[in-house]
């Protein structure tokens, strides 16, 4: 460790074990080799910054959007806001004993019952929410109240203390100790309030949050409530500006120069002379470079910019194959004393869009093999535990996906961090395309928050703004120009684009650095010919639809076949990827969508409650399209034959195979029915008459057999099987295990047509937080301890408590299941783990 790094740590009262500081949030509040000092309030003054998780031990109750008497009396009179400190529900003595205890993140929408869409005449608002009762027509279930008591020690006096929300849906009002402290009116951008002046030091304090989900930001399921993390951040009056620290790298031969910058804020009454120190660490925690700024004055209640530079020798580049990360430890000091510090993760890489050659990462051509994704998941709605972000990304990575688009909103920090760690590029999109103050504030927050993330390669300022493209094209051009300009001011290192469903000849497209086409394969060739200097990519493509495990399209059952289902405006995976994959000047594109998502049910309405666009279903179980992408997006040999082999005897069945090998032969019960050459970016298929037994696909390259795959006729379901993504998780109250539930026949083979009901019981230091099955038409509870299998599969999500031990999960036949279905159990071990520093 260098002397400058050692000085940072020692001066702030921390262990000098640098790798121990690579935890969450500010380095100054990360666990050291000693017990968590944030829980010892006497030592809090030694820390320049504390960022405490504020997720545990809240209470919740519903309010009412039309009857103040059922909304804690809020809004009963004109004078609610007339006097500071008079909101009794946010003060001591208020009776919340009937409120429900819970932890955050929390999405109350996923807990609500479904509303029968047939009785509501096709209510578009209901459809968008996936037929959950949210909106002004449903005042009883559209308002939620959260309440929490917490302690503030006397030793915190003199600090600046903020409550910070990573996101809440949607219109939020925050009260502390009876005082109104602020409101926020969007569902995706983070927000915070300085509550220093409203706190009681050395005493109990109370925070209350009213969340109103009556209005929405999108046309898809958005959840309701505090669905992202909340933090309590304690700062010295002299501190680093929020998201003002930047690390910008430039490759120079075998080295990288780093331009380092930040802003120091002084919220004290006296001017100070300050300097900023940077220590750059590699992934092992070794200090590989240092820098410091000149000393300069920061006025009382003012701010000043600080900058420095340094060099990384032989840097390890960030890429999709090797996502190498560095950490900048940034601290500000006055008179030799550390006043504040934070850690910034960053990567060294280049990302270039070329109008003739497509996209280059670190100087090497790379097709963007992307998917668009909303942010919800089976069982938990929009309130995803952090581990679920990495799980979802691993599913997409497994099929060869190397990029994601955050459709259509600023993403949660854990999604971006997972992309940074796992080597997945990102098109990072804001929700509101507008140059009004709210739109610009959301955009600025997104860019500042994520401009150090190496995964982000494109800023997106909007999606399918038809009016700004056509009838209001003049206004669209001006709005886009202002938004692009602001992106460049905040981050001159990345290109700016938008998802445009049109020919890109006017309106918002004029200001864009890179042109994004949504669908419309008839436009890009002509556009490239007419505008040969403008790079092009597919900002949204495909919109193929399918129902996992279904091989006939049946409008009476709301199912779509897994062969070639597609909506009117879309393209099959083969059609869009053949187009983008065969043109060198096309950078690649983003398929709609990676995962199925709640709301916007397509191509059917009620009783469908989610879309069928996903390449995988709501649980992450692959549909057959998944294997098409895996064949053409990954380099290793691949073969997938479908469908299953349980049909009516004598029925004609279409058999398809996806492979990136040269030829595939099909055998039915050992008899060859033909060998076919595989077209590039295509598939092979046969039609055969079903007979019980097996089908076998054999894939060849240069005449040599490389891969085989079989589908067998299986028996009826007789037993259950549970498997988990991990069999040991942290006992921190946050970690999860994701279980797959399968039905097996007597021979232990999965039954692809099983739809048995299964009940679950969880015991030990864990709890069930969600269930799902990927059925777009299933209206069973996502929170109940039971779920039907859908075409042989279901999912259970179990979360740890803060006790180590063994979680036992038992799966038993549910109501209406075959009496032959045998139960099974699975155990997950929870290991002792240091929880993130949290509010007491």
Instruction: List residues with catalytic annotation.
Output: 464, 540
- Residue 658: name the closest of 549, 583, 562, 566 by CA: 562
Q: Are 399 and 445 in contact (CB under 8 A)?
A: no
Q: How far apart, in whole angstroms, are the C-alpha atoms of residue 39 and residue 191?
A: 25
Q: Are 129 and 599 in contact (CB under 8 A)?
A: yes
Q: How far apart, in whole angstroms, are the C-alpha atoms of residue 529 and residue 706?
A: 42
User: Would you call 573 helix, strand, or coil by DSSP?
Assistant: helix
State which H helix or E strand residue 354 sits in. strand 351-354
- Residue 413: name the closest of 390, 433, 381, 391 by CA: 390
Provide the token pair at 591.
Answer: 């398929």
Q: How far apart, in whole angstroms, are the C-alpha atoms of residue 69 and residue 371?
A: 46
- Residue 570: name the closest of 617, 630, 615 by CA: 615
Q: Read off φ and ψ for residue 473, nearest 5 degrees.
A: -60, -35
CA atoms within 13 A on the CB side of 784: 13
Cross-sheet strand order for the sheet of 191-194: 49-53, 230-235, 160-165, 191-194
Tell me the torsion sign for CA atoms 154, 157, 159, 165.
positive
Taking CA 540 as the corner, what is the angle to CA 537 and CA 544, rounded to the nearest 5 degrees? 130
In angstroms, how far is the first alpha carbon of the chain from the final one?
34
* Residue-by-residue DSSP string for 397-424: HHTT--EEEETTSPPPHHHHHHHHHHT-
Cross-sheet strand order for the sheet of 694-701: 671-677, 663-668, 694-701, 704-712
Provide the token pair at 543.
Answer: 């919109």
Q: How far apart, in whole angstroms, are the C-alpha atoms of residue 783 and residue 769?
A: 6
User: Would you call 235 helix, strand, or coil by DSSP?
Assistant: strand
DSSP collapsed to 3 states, 481-498? HHHHHHHHHHCCCCEEEE
State which H helix or E strand residue 34 sits in. none
**How crowded is residue 819: how many other Cβ atoms within 10 Å of its Cβ?**
6
Tell me the torsion sign for CA atoms 421, 425, 429, 435.
positive
**How crowded is residue 664: how many other Cβ atoms within 10 Å of its Cβ?**
26
Q: How far apart, in whole angstroms, are the C-alpha atoms of residue 9 and residue 343?
A: 12
Burial of 688 (0-12, 13-18, 19+ CB in 10 A): middle
Q: Are 399 and 620 in contact (CB under 8 A)?
A: no
Q: Are 563 and 615 in contact (CB under 8 A)?
A: no
Strand-strand pairing, 255-266 and 272-281? unpaired
Q: Are 273 and 249 in contact (CB under 8 A)?
A: no
Which spans in 117-255 are helix H? 124-128
**How crowded is residue 80: how many other Cβ atoms within 10 Å of its Cβ?**
14
17 Cβ neighbours under 8 A, 6+ residues apart? 32, 33
Percentages helix, strand, coil for the chain, rounded to the nearest 5?
15, 40, 45
CA distances (Å), 435 to each of 186, 406, 461, in order? 15, 20, 10
Q: How far apart, in whole angstroms, are the C-alpha atoms of residue 32 and residue 20?
A: 5
């Amino acid at each position: 460790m260098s002397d400058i790094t050692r000085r940072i740590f020692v001066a702030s009262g921390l262990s000098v074990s640098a790798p121990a500081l690579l935890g969450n949030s500010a380095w100054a509040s990360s666990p050291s080799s000693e017990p968590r000092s944030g829980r010892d309030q006497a030592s809090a003054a030694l820390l320049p910054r504390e960022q405490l998780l504020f997720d545990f031990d809240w209470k919740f109750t519903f309010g009412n959007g039309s009857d103040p008497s059922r909304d804690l009396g809020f809004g009963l009179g004109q004078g609610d806001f007339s006097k500071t400190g008079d909101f009794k529900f946010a003060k001591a003595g208020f009776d919340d004993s009937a409120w429900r205890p819970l932890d955050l993140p929390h999405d109350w929408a996923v807990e609500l019952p479904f509303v029968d869409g047939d009785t509501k005449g096709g209510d578009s608002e209901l459809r968008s929410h996936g037929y959950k009762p949210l909106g002004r027509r449903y005042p009883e279930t559209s308002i939620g109240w959260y309440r929490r008591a917490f302690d503030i020690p006397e030793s915190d006096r003199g600090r600046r203390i903020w409550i910070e929300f990573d996101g809440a849906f949607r219109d939020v009002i925050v009260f502390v100790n009876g005082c109104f402290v602020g409101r926020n009116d969007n569902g995706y951008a983070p927000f915070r309030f300085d509550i220093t002046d409203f706190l009681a030091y050395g005493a109990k304090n109370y925070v209350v949050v009213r969340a109103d989900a009556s209005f929405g930001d999108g046309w898809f399921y958005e959840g309701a409530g505090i669905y992202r993390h909340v933090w309590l951040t304690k700062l010295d009056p002299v501190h680093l500006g929020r998201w003002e620290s930047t690390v910008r790298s430039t490759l120079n031969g075998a080295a990288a120069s780093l331009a380092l910058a930040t802003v120091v804020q002084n919220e004290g009454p006296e001017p100070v002379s300050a300097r900023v120190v940077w220590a750059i660490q590699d992934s092992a925690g070794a200090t590989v470079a240092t820098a410091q700024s000149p000393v300069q004055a920061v006025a009382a209640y003012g701010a000043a910019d600080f900058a420095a530079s340094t060099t990384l020798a032989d840097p390890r580049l960030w890429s999709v194959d090797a996502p190498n990360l560095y950490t900048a430890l940034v601290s500000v000091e006055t008179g030799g004393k550390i006043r504040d510090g934070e850690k910034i993760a960053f990567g060294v890489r280049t990302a270039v869009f070329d109008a003739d050659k497509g996209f280059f990462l670190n100087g090497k051509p790379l097709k963007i093999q992307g998917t668009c994704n909303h942010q919800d998941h089976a069982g938990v709605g929009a309130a995803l535990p952090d581990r679920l972000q990495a799980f979802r990304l691993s599913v997409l990575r497994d099929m060869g996906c190397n990029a994601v688009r955050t459709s259509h909103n600023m993403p949660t920090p854990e999604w971006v961090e997972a992309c940074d760690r796992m080597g997945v590029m990102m098109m990072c999109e804001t929700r509101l395309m507008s140059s009004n103050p709210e739109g610009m504030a959301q955009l600025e927050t997104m860019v500042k928050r994520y401009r150090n993330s190496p995964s982000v390669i494109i800023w997106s300022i909007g999606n399918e703004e038809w009016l700004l493209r056509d009838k209001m094209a003049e206004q669209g051009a001006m709005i886009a120009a202002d938004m692009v300009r602001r992106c460049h001011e905040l981050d001159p290192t990345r290109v700016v684009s938008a998802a445009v469903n049109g020919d890109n000849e006017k309106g918002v497209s004029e200001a864009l650095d890179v042109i994004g086409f949504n669908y419309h394969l008839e436009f890009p060739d002509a556009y490239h010919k007419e505008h040969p200097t403008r790079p092009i990519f597919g900002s949204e493509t495909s919109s193929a639809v399918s129902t996992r495990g279904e091989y006939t399209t049946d409008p009476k059952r709301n199912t779509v076949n897994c062969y070639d289902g597609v909506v009117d405006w879309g393209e099959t995976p083969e059609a869009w990827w053949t187009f983008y994959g065969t043109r060198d000047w096309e950078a690649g594109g983003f398929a709609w969508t990676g995962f199925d998502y709640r709301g916007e049910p397509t191509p059917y309405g009620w009783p469908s409650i989610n879309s069928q666009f996903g390449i995988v279903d709501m649980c992450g179980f692959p549909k057959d399209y998944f294997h098409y992408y895996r064949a053409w997006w990954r380099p290793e040999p691949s073969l997938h034959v479908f469908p299953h082999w349980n049909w009516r005897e004598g029925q004609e069945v279409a058999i398809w195979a996806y492979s990136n090998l040269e030829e595939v032969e099909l055998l039915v019960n050992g008899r060859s029915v033909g060998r076919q050459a595989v077209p590039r970016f295509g598939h092979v298929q046969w039609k055969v008459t079903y007979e019980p037994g097996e089908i076998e696909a054999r894939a060849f390259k240069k005449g040599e057999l490389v891969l085989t795959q079989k589908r067998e006729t299986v028996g009826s379901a007789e037993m259950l099987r549970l498997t988990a993504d991990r069999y040991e998780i942290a006992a921190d109250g946050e970690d999860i295990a994701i279980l797959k539930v399968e039905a097996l026949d007597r021979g232990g083979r999965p039954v692809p047509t099983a739809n048995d009901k299964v009940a679950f019981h969880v015991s030990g230091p864990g709890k069930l937080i969600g269930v799902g099955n990927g059925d777009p038409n299933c209206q069973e509870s996502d929170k109940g301890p039971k779920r039907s299998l859908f075409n042989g599969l279901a999912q259970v999500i179990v979360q740890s408590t803060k006790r180590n031990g063994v979680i036992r999960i038992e799966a038993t036949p549910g109501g209406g299941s075959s009496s032959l279905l045998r139960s099974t159990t699975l155990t997950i071990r929870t290991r002792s783990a240091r929880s993130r520093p949290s509010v007491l």
